[in-house]
A = this chain, B = another copy of it.
């Protein structure tokens, strides 16, 4: 039985969306048990399941504008930090929250704890590509480390390779280095120094530099970058796709009868496409390099997104990938 510690109070639609996601997950996955951290008076009426769910009542909440490290240090009784503490004490196996990203990263680092041999854990979302032959792209790091050293990039590649194998069954995941050109000589100081490290690493399937414009075409399974650039790319993918879908809707509504009718006819097809591009399908972003799975669900998560993140946590625990990673890095030190 896997125990998942879930912050019921994190995210834009908490606690409703979180508890509803838990209801569905408990009914679907007989092998999991959920510890729900938060305000019992709010959570209890929303829960439709009784077995395998325990509410751990907490009074405090980490707010979205709390300074991350200060929140972790001062709000020890909050739903997020208490959940992390349970994982630290092995009373739970994985941590899940849709709350303040920085605070969750700090909880992962300072409470759950770094894995031996890892310099900097990396935050790794899985993005859907438009290439059916290579539908998943792991972006590492997407924002845990604004400044990186070459060795951090190398470690992200190793961590993500283990993850891609365990979660998507990719035998030899292709690692690309995000760069400002595909030629080997291109780059800033960081990527120029990271390139030879990645190239010489025999345990990696390094395919060279990749450009941000090719990411959704499936040129690699794992795209490596520093957390500042990764964050910028992730947000510009998100911003551009949202803006375009909105612009299409507006354009069709304001272009006269023919376009309006056309808009009605393509509504389903367009909505299928939006689903295909939904980046919460594979769950949340995982923080890899800490001692247990820590999953950040999107702040705007609805019931379905939370359910997907729980399914992801279950799959990670079933695969035993975090233990595998720990063994690998232990064997090196």
Point out the residue from B242, B255, B272 that lies within 8 Å of A272, measured CB to CB.
B255
Binds B, one of A50-58, A165-173, A225-233, A294-302: A225-233
- Residues of chain B contacted by A245 (CB below 8 angstroms): 244
Asked whether B240 lies within 8 Å of A236 as measured between CB atoms, the reply is: yes
Query: Which of B191, B213, B239 is in CB contact (< 8 Å) with A235?
Result: B213
Contact (Cβ within 8 A) B273 A251: yes
Residues in B whose Cβ lies below 8 Å from that of A189: 146-147
Q: Which residues of B contact A241 (CB under 8 A)?
A: 240, 244
Picked from B212, B216, B228, B243, the residue with its CB within 8 Å of the CB of A216 is B243
Give the one of A188, A242, A261 with max B CB within 10 A.
A188
A110 sits at the interface (CB 8 A): no
- Interface of chain A residues 264 through 299 with chain B (CB within 8 A): 264-266, 268-270, 272-273, 276-277
B238 adjacent to A236 (CB under 8 Å): no
Of B180, B213, B243, B251, the contact of A143 (CB 8 Å cutoff): B180
Please give the residue numbers on chain A whose beta carbons come within 8 Å of chain B beta carbons, in ascending order.
65, 67, 102, 130, 143, 146-147, 178, 180-181, 183, 185, 187-189, 191, 211-217, 225-229, 231-233, 235-248, 251-252, 255, 258-259, 261-266, 268-270, 272-273, 276-277
- Give me 22 A-to-B residue pairs in the complex whose CB atoms sit less than 8 angstroms apart, sorted by A's number: A67-B185, A130-B243, A146-B188, A188-B226, A211-B235, A212-B239, A213-B239, A215-B236, A215-B239, A216-B240, A216-B243, A236-B237, A236-B240, A240-B244, A244-B244, A251-B269, A251-B270, A251-B273, A255-B272, A258-B268, A262-B265, A265-B265
